[in-house]
Amino acid sequence: MTAPAALLLAALAAGPTAFAEPSAPGPVVPETLTGLAATPPAPLVVPLAPTPPAEAHRTPVVRGQSPGAWGPAAPVGPTYGGTPGGGYGYGGTPGGGYGYGGMPGGGYGYGQPVGPSPSFGPTTPVGPEYAPPQFQETYGVNGPQPYDFAPEFRFDAGYIFPAAAEGRADDLAVTELDFQYEADSPGPFGGVFTVAPAYRLRLLDGPSANVAAGQPRLPGALHRLGSDFSLMTPKYGGLSATVGFSPTINSDFEDSLTEAARQYDGRAALFYDVAPDLTLVAGAKYYDRVDDLILPWAGFVWRPGDRWEIRALFPEPRVEYFYGPVWGKPMWIYAEGQFTRESWQFSPDVPGGPAIDEVQFDDLRLIVGARKEQGWGRTFLEAGVVFDREVSFKKQPDQNFEVGESLILRGGVRF
């Protein structure tokens, strides 16, 4: 019998187990002097982003720049304010899926990279009522938009079409130009501190004035220079707060600046999350104008589902809807009510009248618009109606006049 045949017969005699698939060899691990197995070396390649936990589908979606269909950003890098390997928690929930954390097991904190942003642009906050819960940021649709600690430039332009001015020979039209630089940075105790220097220009076309009858002549250009400072706390037990202060200079710069040109606005509010999709707001805003004004800043923010956000906040309510991709870029549509009160120092140029006075413009606005992510930044276009308009003077209140309803068209860019 040949050698190959003998080997075959021996295998058949051994039974079917001879053909079983061999088990995977165990790792070759040297023993230590104590007889215990040493820890095997770590793999050479470590994935940057761990697989999201199975509980991720149970967590609320947090407002960012798009719904989950666009894909969340995968956090990478060391933890900051959380426990390494704690998962991607919302509000500190261990293993709570993508989003906010910061408590033990809560995941990755702000200040660290969070992977590649969506291709349609940077993330920015919608408004101060949305604090970053426990130091975190995320992408999604509902809830607070994350803070982006990169600087942002804002350029807005608007035009209020001519409307009749009471007691004046012709109409009043207004061109609005706003420029702002905003920078968010980590504040004390995990808060967010924002500095936003800004410049506003109002170009007035009309109305003419009968100076002989004592009517003040409005200037052609009004300027506003200043900055806004605000601090937003992180959320503790669903509660957060914000305070803001805005010192500005407002003038036509025709004469030396007086106290009439200096304004000091302020605001403060508390926010409480009664549910992941509902936030209560209670606070106030102070307007330093010809007629100083304190208004309640109160209401609620409701996020019923992935696409809707309802800000029922006085004095500026807003409803926003995520429309979806348009030409490959996500777009939102919205409707908003606005209260506007602005005032400036100016030279009325009235014989026998005050050399320096202060003029105030009041109006209400109903706006509809759309905003869109463009990859390099964001753009918006809106239109609406301006009504309940009044122009008033501090030293010549008998010359106050009303302005008729008009249309407004505005647009802007942020990058």
pLDDT in tens, 228-270: 999 999 988 899 999 999 999 999 999 999 999 999 999 999 9
Considering only residues 370 and 108, tell me which one the structure prediction assigns the higher pLDDT.
370
In sequence order, what are the beta bridge partners of 21? none
**409 touches 365 (CB < 8 A):** no
> How much is the pLDDT for 147?
65
Please report whether residue 95 resides in a domain.
Answer: no
Mention every residue, 6+ apart, whose C-beta is less than 8 A from residue 99: 59, 60, 62, 88, 89, 90, 136, 138, 140
Please report whether residue 296 resides in a domain.
Answer: yes
> How much is the pLDDT for 187?
80
Please report whether residue 343 resides in a domain.
Answer: yes
Please report whether residue 378 resides in a domain.
Answer: yes
Lowest mean pLDDT among 119-133, 288-302, 334-348, 359-373: 119-133
Range of the structural domain that residue 156 is part of: 152-414
Please report whether residue 78 resides in a domain.
Answer: no
Q: pTM score, two decimals?
A: 0.67
Lowest mean pLDDT among 51-65, 137-151, 400-414: 51-65
Lowest mean pLDDT among 130-139, 181-190, 365-374, 402-411: 130-139
Can you tell me the distance from the alpha carbon of 166 to that of 210, in angstroms, rounded to the nearest whole number? Answer: 13
Mean pLDDT of the 35-51 span: 41
Can you tell me the distance from the alpha carbon of 154 to that of 148, in angstroms, rounded to the nearest whole number? Answer: 14
The CATH number assigned to the domain holding 330 equals 2.40.160
Which of the four pLDDT bands, split at 50, 70 and 90, describes residue 61?
very low
pLDDT at 25 over 60: no
**195 touches 227 (CB < 8 A):** yes
Please report whether residue 394 resides in a domain.
Answer: yes
pLDDT in tens, 118-152: 333 333 334 444 444 433 333 333 334 456 678 89
Please report whether residue 83 resides in a domain.
Answer: no
Residue 273: count other Cβ atoms within 10 Å of its Cβ.
Answer: 20
Which of the four pLDDT bands, split at 50, 70 and 90, describes residue 3?
very low
The 3-state secondary structure of the chain, one letter per residue? CCHHHHHHHHHHHHCHHHHCCCCCCCCCCCECCCCCECCCCCCCCCCCCCCCCHHHHHCCCCCCCCCHHHCCCCCCCCCCCCCCCCCCCCCCCCCCCCCCCCCCCCCCCCCCCCCCCCCCCCCCCCCCCCCCHHHCCCCCCCCCCCCCCCCEEEEEEEEEEEEEECCCCCEEEEEEEEEEEEEEEECHHHCEEEEEEEEEEEEEECCCCCHHHCCCCCCCEEEEEEEEEEEECCCECCEEEEEEEEEEEEECCCCCCCHHHEEEEEEEEEEEEEECCEEEEEEEEEECCCCCEEEEEEEEEECCCCCEEEEEEECCCEEEEEEEEECCEEEEEEEEEEEEEEEEEECCCCCCCCCCEEEEEEEEEEEEEEEEECCCCEEEEEEEEEEEEEEEECCCHHHCEEECCEEEEEEEEEC
Can you tell me the distance from the alpha carbon of 133 to that of 88, in angstroms, rounded to the nearest whole number? Answer: 13
Number of domains forming the structure of the chain: 1
**380 touches 362 (CB < 8 A):** no
Please report whether residue 135 resides in a domain.
Answer: no
pLDDT at 81 over 50: no
